Amino acid sequence: MTIDDLKQNAGRRIVLVNPPVAVVDPVQLYFYADSFPLGLHQIRRWLASMGHEVELADMMGYGKHEKSFDEMLESGELAPLPRMPAGAPETDFAVWRYGQGVGWLESWFAGRDSPDEVWVSCSILFNAFLAHEVIRWVRKRFPEALVRFGGGYPTLLPEDAASSGAHDIVQGRIYEADAMQPSLEGIAHPLHYVSFRLTTGCPNRCAFCINGRDRMVRHDADEVVDFIQRTRETLGIKYFNNWDPNVLRFKPHLKKFLRELASRELDVRIRFDMGLEPPLLDDELLDLLAVSGVDAFTLPFETSDPVFARLFNKPYTIISSIRAAVRMRERNLSIRECHGTYVIGCPDEEFADLFATYHVTHRFGLRSTPFPLLVIPGSPIFQRYSALLKGKPSSCYNGHLFPLIQDKERLGRYRMMLGILSANDDRSKSQIAARLPEDLREAYGRGRVRGERLVEQVLDTDEEDSLDLLERLHNKVQ
């Protein structure tokens, strides 16, 4: 039975499963958007609208909001997994499971009727091995059930996903489900914030992202505000996080949403953690962000090195990010909780350039957010470094394993910098240089000078952002 067949054959008992995820370090734990699986809740409502009996078995962990990493280790909420090989030869890292193991499924299914279908989701490549484990358990426990496997990973690597034993590999999105606001009934854990979508897809083809592979779809702005208001009134949730890949590519639509949100005067706080494209931020939008309950968003900086800016294939560079940060300051927009993101983990990058990017985010008061490079099959980065990845399973593509770093000592430096640069309390920022070994301290100092000079050079020119301009400025600040 295909998914289309479900539209004419009501009454199927369907269980959706959200598997646990892999965690390498505390930074990765807090990167996970674990408010709830937004897409599965939308699919749940879509299937129910066609007359199917649908439940969600959510295996994801949610303890990070109340406990530290060490406390979660002690309580068992982070369960040890076999160590995983990192990029450097003969180097492996400890890895933990965040969420429930397959044994939990036995208790979850106890007392329930056997399902006709089980749908398992996996968004991120390096978590695939945990989803495979779930599918093997389901096939053994319910041999008559049809198992479907969907999400970002099966879409990118369908043949690898098929090795899980799933009967149906679902590639791409279910756009009918995307158009529906999620059903939040029966959630079995406390929600700390709720995700929402205004749009789907992105026209950009950034080298480390898969969102440019989805078609662009706009969802009704008034219905999204209705959903936020209803959730606030019925569940008491105050915090909402937009999870669109590039919502500013629908700028008029975003402005309409913010105006409607402001007009209702809801007691909510809104975040755009997936980011706002810097060159598209205009003064009207900044004003709307200030009056509509938005208290944080991500401003991507990515890199100050033109070589990697070209490789990342974004339609703008750090030049646009600097200019956007200046406009934010000029309009007195609160940015203390805004993230300034940048990529780390490229094998050829110079540490001084990495620190330069850090200093630029720090100068504007943003939360420094280094993001370990995620290698995605078919991307320019994957093609460039394919020899380093040959023969490695998708579980090793985890950026926090630094799969492209082949030198053991350099790998250790990256792990150290990830933790240090991610600390954003004032005390950690003031002591950053003292926490670095001597060679990195020297690179940190050079990076600080480069970052300051780069900002000055950007503010001194009206020339349109381009890779060529970044290359000229980069040469000047060396």
The answer on 302 and 162 residing in a single domain is no
Look at residue 359 and tell me if it is in a domain: yes
pTM of the entire structure?
0.93
Average pLDDT, the chain: 92
Structure tokens at 412: 């250790």
Structure tokens at 364: 């504007």
Dist CA 280 CA 320 (whole Å): 9
Q: Write the CA distances from 436 to 25, 28, 247, 293, integer angstroms.
A: 19, 21, 37, 38
The answer on pLDDT for 324 being more than 90 is yes
E-strand stretches of 245-286 = 269-272
Overall number of domains in the chain: 2
Q: What is the pLDDT of residue 383?
A: 85
Residue with the larger pLDDT of the pair 335 and 449:
449
Query: What single-letter amino acid sits at 397?
Result: Y
Dist CA 305 CA 320 (whole Å): 14
Look at residue 57 and tell me if it is in a domain: yes
The answer on 386 and 296 residing in a single domain is yes
Look at residue 151 and tell me if it is in a domain: yes
In DSSP terms, 92 is beta-bridged to 85
Share of residues in the chain with pLDDT > 90 (%): 72
Q: For position 5, which CATH number holds?
A: 3.40.50.280
Q: Cα–Cα–Cα angle for 405, 409, 415, nearest 5°?
A: 65
Q: How confident is the model at residue 431 (pLDDT cuts 50, 70, 90)?
A: confident
Dist CA 225 CA 36 (whole Å): 18
- 183 with 41: CB under 8 angstroms? yes
Dihedral sign, CA of 360, 364, 335, 324?
A: negative
pLDDT digits (tens, 9 = 90+) for 58-100: 999 887 877 889 999 998 889 999 999 999 999 999 999 999 9
Dist CA 18 CA 60 (whole Å): 6
Query: What single-letter amino acid sits at 247?
Result: V
340 phi and psi, to 5 degrees? -105, 105
Q: How confident is the model at residue 381 (pLDDT cuts 50, 70, 90)?
A: confident
The DSSP line for 335-381 is -TT-EEEEEE--TT--HHHHHHHHHHHHHTT-EEEEEEPPP-TTSHH
User: Parallel, antiparallel, or unpaired for β 199-200 and 269-272?
Assistant: unpaired
Dihedral sign, CA of 54, 55, 60, 64?
A: positive
pLDDT digits (tens, 9 = 90+) for 47-57: 999 999 999 99
Domain boundary among 160, 192, 224: 192
Residue in this structure with the two tokens 């990845």, named with its chain if needed = 389
Look at residue 429 and tell me if it is in a domain: yes
Look at residue 50 and tell me if it is in a domain: yes
83 phi and psi, to 5 degrees? -60, 150
Query: What single-letter amino acid sits at 68?
Result: S
- 450 with 318: CB under 8 angstroms? no
Task: Summarize the confidence of residues 13-35 as an average pLDDT.
Answer: 90
Nearest Cα to 36, choosing from 171, 176, 183? 183
- Range list of H helices, 20-101: 26-31, 38-49, 69-75
Around Cβ 323, how many Cβ atoms within 10 Å? 17
The answer on 310 and 161 residing in a single domain is no
The answer on 291 and 170 residing in a single domain is no
Around Cβ 190, how many Cβ atoms within 10 Å? 10
Q: What domain range includes position 300?
A: 239-246+270-478
Look at residue 209 and tell me if it is in a domain: no
pLDDT digits (tens, 9 = 90+) for 351-372: 999 999 999 999 999 999 999 9
Nearest Cα to 133, choosing from 108, 169, 101? 101
Residue with the larger pLDDT of the pair 381 and 454:
454
Query: What single-letter amino acid sits at 464?
Result: E
The DSSP line for 374-409 is PP-TTSHHHHHTHHHHTT--GGGG-GGG-TT---HH
Task: Summarize the confidence of residues 162-171 as an average pLDDT.
Answer: 97
Residue in this structure with the two tokens 């309009």, named with its chain if needed = 331
Q: Return the half-sphere exposure (C-beta side, CA atoms, 13 A cut-off) of residue 16.
A: 24
Q: What is the pLDDT of residue 442?
A: 94
Task: Summarize the confidence of residues 15-31 as an average pLDDT.
Answer: 94
The answer on 177 and 290 residing in a single domain is no
3-state secondary structure of 278: helix
Q: What is the pLDDT of residue 138?
A: 98
pLDDT digits (tens, 9 = 90+) for 238-277: 999 999 989 999 999 999 999 999 999 999 999 999 999 9
- 394 with 160: CB under 8 angstroms? yes
The answer on 474 and 331 residing in a single domain is yes
Name the burial class of residue 406, with classes exposed (0-12), middle (13-18) and buried (19+) by CB atoms within 10 angstroms of its CB: middle
The answer on 164 and 41 residing in a single domain is yes
Dist CA 157 CA 150 (whole Å): 11
Dist CA 236 CA 245 (whole Å): 27
pLDDT digits (tens, 9 = 90+) for 389-400: 888 888 999 999
Residue with the larger pLDDT of the pair 190 and 341:
341
The answer on pLDDT for 190 being more than 80 is no
Around Cβ 197, how many Cβ atoms within 10 Å? 22
Dist CA 444 CA 431 (whole Å): 12
Q: What is the pLDDT of residue 164?
A: 97
Q: What is the pLDDT of residue 66?
A: 79
Look at residue 123 and tell me if it is in a domain: yes
Structure tokens at 457: 């050079």
Q: How confident is the model at residue 428 (pLDDT cuts 50, 70, 90)?
A: low
Q: How confident is the model at residue 28 (pLDDT cuts 50, 70, 90)?
A: very high
Look at residue 33 and tell me if it is in a domain: yes
Question: Distance between alpha carbon 242 and the CA centroid of its chain, in Å?
Answer: 11
Structure tokens at 257: 């949403």
The answer on 182 and 78 residing in a single domain is yes
Q: What is the pLDDT of residue 34?
A: 60
Dist CA 379 CA 30 (whole Å): 26
Task: Summarize the confidence of residues 14-24 as an average pLDDT.
Answer: 96
The answer on 343 and 429 residing in a single domain is yes
Structure tokens at 291: 């009056």
Q: What is the pLDDT of residue 432?
A: 81
The answer on 186 and 46 residing in a single domain is yes
